[in-house]
Structure 1
C-alpha cells in the first residue's frame, strides 16, 4: 500500500542507515505490493522447500546447517507480513500462509491500519480484505496477531495529516473503530492485538511521546476488552535503536518507564520489542537491552512492579545490505550470514527471562522500500534462511 511521501522517506532513510549493521529497519509497515524482481539478487542461492512455489530460478544449493536450539516451553513462533497479506491475490495469500505453516509458525503478524478499512468518515468500515486473511489463517490453524495503527487522513491530527504515522485526532473515535473490529474478529478466533508499531520513534508523528501514546493505549485497550474479554493485548513493539542518524528515539527502558508511570502497563498483557542485532546477538546492545544492561526492559518492568510481564519479540531478523548498495558479489555471503544470525537470535532469545515469542521479519523483500530482510527475495525465490528457520523451529519444538 502506498502512503504519504513523508513516511515513505522515513522508511527508505531507515533502511539505508541500518543496512550495514543489520539493525532495525524502523519501518511501521511494508509499502506497496510485492515487487517482481530484486536488483542484484542471486536467484540461485536457495532451493524452494518441497511442495512450495518455485518462483524464478531453481539452481540447487546445499541445505543450511544449524545447531539445535533450546527454547522455553511456551515460546511462540511467528512470521511478520507487514501490510502485504491484505492486498494479496487469493493464490498469493494461500502461498504465503502455506509457507508459514511449512516453517512451523504458530502466529502471523499483520498490520491492521484503520486507513485500510475506512477511507471516508461517513461510511462504515469495510473489513472484507481482512476477512480473507483471517479465514486463510484459520484454515491453517495459524493465530493472527494484528497491529492496530494508522488512521485515515480524515481522522488524523492537523499537525501531521500527511503521514500515516500520525496519531488519531480523537482517541475515542479510534477506539470505536477498534471495538467494531475486535467484536467482528473475536468471533472468528482473533484475540491478539498489538497497539501501534514502534511508538518510540517517528512512527509516532511528529515526535515520540510516551505520555501521549499511553492515553491512546489505555483508551484502545479498554475498547478491546469490552469487545473481547479474552483478548491478549500487547504494548506497541518498541524499536531497539534510532531508525536513522539523528532521528528521534526514546530508549525502550525510558519509554516503558514513562508508560508505566502514566498507568499504561496496567492496560496490557505484555510489552513488545524489536531487537534487530548490531552484530552477534549475544553481544549486541539491542539484545542486551532486554535483560543484560542496567537500563534494560527487565529493569524497567521490575521498577514498574511488573517483573513477570512477558516480552514479545514481534520483529527481529537480518537484512541483505548488498541489495541496497548494489554489491552483487556480497549477496551470497550475506545470505549465509542471515542463516547464522537466525540461529544465534533464536539461541540468545531462548536464554533470556520473560521472552515469550520470536517473530521473524520478514516473509519477503520489498526492495522499493529498502526492506530486504525476507525469507524470500523480491522475485519470490527462497533464501537459505527459509530452510534454516524451518529447522530451528522444528528442533526447538522437539526440545519443548
Structure 2
C-alpha cells in the first residue's frame, strides 16, 4: 500500500510552513491549509492566473485547441514539480506554488511580447517578465482590502524572484528597481540561491517546455519524427518505442516518446540532486541557500543532450517562418498600441486614464506597460482592432 503524500517524511533541507518567515502584512493563519497551500490558492484565484489560458506559449492561443498556452504549461510545470518534490521528500505545496506562479508576468504573445515591451520601455525603466511576475504578486493584483498584491509568504516571494538563482548581479538594471525597493523593507537575500522547492520549480519548467515544445512542434508540422531521430535523448527514445510497438502510429509514437523523455529527465534530476546533496554535505535549508551552485540540476550528460535538443528547437521551431510571421504581427500590435496610449492617453480605459493623469512620461509608460502586459492574446488582438480598424457606427 502506497504512503499518502501528506505522510511523506520531509528531507532535512526542506522548507517548513510551520517555520515560515511569514507575510509582509500579518494575517491570521488559515484553519484548513498550511501557509504555502494558502499561497497556492491565492495564485490560482488571481486574475493574472486566469489570463494565462489565452497567453502564448509558442503558438498564439487561437491557432489551435490543443497547443500549450501559458496556463496549460504552468499546470504541467506544477505537476512535474509536485512529482519531484514528493520524490525528494521536500515541501510539495511550496514547489507547486512557485511553479504555478512563475509565468504570471508574461505579456501576450510569449517572448515576442516581452521583446517588444523591452524596446518600448527602454527609456522608462525597462521590462522583465520575472520582475513583472514579482510585481503581479506584490502589487498589481488587487483582491484584498488590507493590502495590494497577494501578500504571499516570504518563501514563495523569494522563490518567485530567485528560482533561477541569485539575482544580485541584476540589481543595477532599471527593470529590477521594483525588486530592490521591495527588498529594502523585507530582505529577500537576493545574493543567495532560493530554496530547494524553488529550484525544483525552475527545473520543472525546463523539463516541461523542452518536452512539450517537441510535442507541439510535431503536431504543428514544423518538423517530423524523422528529423528527430539523430537528436540526442529524443531520437533514441523514438527508436525504443518503435522496437517495443512496431505497428504504432505516428501520433501514439510521439506521445509515448515524450512521456518517456519526461520520465528520463525526472530520473536524471533525482539522481544528480542526490549526488550533489551528498557531495556538498547538504543538511539544512540554509545549506541549500549558501551553495555555490544549484542543488537541483541535470547531470552533465543530460545537460549536453538538452543543449543539442534546444538548438534543434531554436532552429526548426522558434525561428520557423510561420512562428516568425506571428512574432512579427504580435510585435506590431503591441508597439502600435503602446505608442498610441503614450501619445493619446485619453483613449485608455477610464480607470487607467485617471491613473496616468499628472504623471511624467516614465510614470505613464509604466501604467501603459502594465496594461499591455496584462492583456491576453485575444484581448490584445481585439483591442488593436478597436483602436486601429474602427468601423463607423459600431460600438468601440
TM-score (norm 1): 0.29
TM-score (norm 2): 0.29
**Going by fraction, where is helix more abundant, 1 or 2?**
2
**Going by fraction, where is strand more abundant, 1 or 2?**
1
Identify which of structures 1 and 2 has the higher relative contact order when contacts are C-alpha pairs closer than 8 Å and 6+ apart.
1
> Which structure would you say has the larger Rg?
2
